[in-house]
Homo-oligomer: A and B are copies of this chain.
C-alpha cells in the first residue's frame, strides 16, 4: 500500500477548543482542564439521548461564544458520535445554520473529523471548520450492551464510556498549535469477539497505524513529547506496547492513553478506563491542548481508536475489527 501519511505544508491551526464533561470525568485526574461540566448527567432531559444532544449543542454554542464567532464565520461542522445513525450529532446540528457532514469510525471518529477538516482547509476553499464528537455513558450502555436498570456486573476488561463532548475549531489563518501531519487508518481484525474487551479489538489497528506513521514519516516515537491513543484503556495499552515490540518499535514513557488519563481507574471503578467518541476529544481539547499552549508538550501524536461493531453484528457472531487514525500536533 502506498503511503497514507501526509504532512500539512499549508498550515492548519487550532484556533481554539472547548470541552464539556459529566461529574465522573470532572472528578478524574484531568478534571481541572475541562471548560464546562455538569452534575446531573440527564441534564434535566427526559432521556439520556436528549441529554447528549443538549450537551453537544451547549458545547458548540460555548465554543462560538468563546471565540467571538457567529455561525456564519464557520464554514462547516464535521462531527459524529456513537448513537445509531449518529443521531446525537444530527439533532445537534439542527440547531445551527452551519453546513454539516456526519462521520463515523466509532471512537476514532474525532481523528477522522480532524483529518477531513485539515484536508478541506488545505484546499483553501474553507477557512474555519469545527470538529466535534460526543458520547454518554448511559446512551452507549443501553445501545451497545445492556439497559442500566438491569444492573449487570461489569467484566474485568470492560471500559467506561466518557460522558462528554469535545470540539476543535480549526482554521488556516493562525494559531499557536497546528496540525502537522496525519496517517489514515484501515480496518484491522484480529478476530476478537468480546464486546466487553474493546481494548483488544482496537489495539491491532492502533499498532498498524502507529507503525505506518513512524515508517512513512521517517521518525521514531521519541520525536514526540506525547503519543496518545484514544481509548485502549489500561490492558489495551499494555497490549499495544507488546504488539509494537513485535513490529520492532518500542513505546516508552512518552506513550499514554486518553482512556487511562481521564479516570482514576481504581478509585473510580471504571474497569480499564474511559472509552467513547468523546474520550479523545475531551482529553485532547482539554488537557493536551492546554499543556501545548503552556509549552509543556511541543509535539503530540494523537491516535483515536475505534471498535467497529453494532449490537446486530455482535448478535450475528461477527468479530469486532478496529480502526485508528493518527493526527500530529506541533506548537507553532
Whether A123 is near chain B, meaning CB under 8 Å from some CB there, is: yes
Listed by A's residue number, 15 A-B pairs whose Cβ atoms lie within 8 Å are A46-B316, A47-B316, A49-B313, A80-B104, A84-B84, A84-B312, A85-B106, A94-B187, A96-B187, A98-B186, A101-B115, A102-B104, A103-B104, A119-B120, A123-B123
* A125 to B2 CA separation, bound complex (whole angstroms): 11
- Which single residue of chain B is at the shortest CB-CB distance from A4? B99
**Known contacts A104-B104, A112-B101, A321-B91, A71 near B1 by CB under 8 Å:** yes
Complex: how many Å from CA A71 to CA B96?
Answer: 39
A-B contacts besides A87-B318, A102-B104, 13 pairs, CB < 8 Å = A47-B316, A84-B85, A87-B310, A94-B187, A98-B186, A99-B184, A99-B186, A100-B187, A101-B103, A101-B115, A102-B103, A103-B103, A119-B123
Q: Are B105 and A308 in contact (CB under 8 A)?
A: no
Q: Which residue of B lies closest to A316 (CB)?
A: B47
- Could you tell me if B93 and A101 are in contact, using CB atoms closer than 8 angstroms? no
- How far is B123's CA from A71's CA once the two chains are assembled, in angstroms? 26
Task: Select which of B50, B98, B122 is within 8 A of A1 by beta carbon.
Answer: B98
Answer yes or no: A38 CB below 8 A from chain B CBs.
no
Interface residue? A332 (CB, 8 A): no
Q: Tell me the minimal C-beta distance from A43 to chain B in angstroms.
A: 15
Most interface-central of A83, A112, A312 (chain B CB within 10 A): A312
A238 to chain B, nearest CB (A): 25
Whether B99 contacts A185 by the Cβ 8 Å rule is yes
A75: chain B residues within 8 A (beta carbon): 2, 4
State whether A321 touches B87 (Cβ < 8 A).
no
Q: A189 near B: Cβ within 8 Å?
A: yes
Interface residues of A in 259-293 (CB under 8 A from B): none
List, in ascending order, chain B residues with CB within 8 A of A46's CB.
316
Please tell me if A220 contacts chain B, counting CB pairs below 8 Å.
no
Nearest-CB residue, chain B, relative to A109 = B102
A327 CB → nearest B CB, Å: 13
Interface members, chain A 54-90 (any B CB < 8 Å): 71-72, 75-76, 80, 82-87, 90
Q: In the docked arrangement, what's the CA distance between A82 and B50, Å?
A: 22
Contacts of A32 in B (CB 8 A): none
Is A227 close to B, CB under 8 A?
no
In the complex, the answer to whether B308 meets A91 with C-beta atoms within 8 Å is yes
The answer to whether the Cβ of A297 comes within 8 Å of any Cβ in the partner chain is no
Q: Does A176 contact B (CB under 8 A)?
A: no
User: Among the listed B83, B185, B313, which residue makes an inter-chain contact with A91, where contact means beta carbons less than 8 Å apart?
Assistant: B313
A196 touches B (CB below 8 Å) = no
**Which residues of chain B are within 8 angstroms of A115 by Cβ–Cβ distance?**
101
Q: Which residue of B lies closest to A1 (CB)?
A: B72
| Contact in complex: A105, B104 (CB < 8 Å) | no
CB distance from A267 to the nearest CB of B (A): 32
Indicate whether A145 reaches chain B with its CB closer than 8 angstroms.
no
Q: How far is the CA of A75 from the CA of B98 in the complex (A)?
A: 29
**Which residues 277-332 of A sit at the B interface, judged by CB distance below 8 A?**
308-313, 316, 318, 321, 323
Chain B residues in 8 Å Cβ range of A100: 105, 184-187, 323
Which residues of chain B are within 8 angstroms of A105 by Cβ–Cβ distance? 100-102
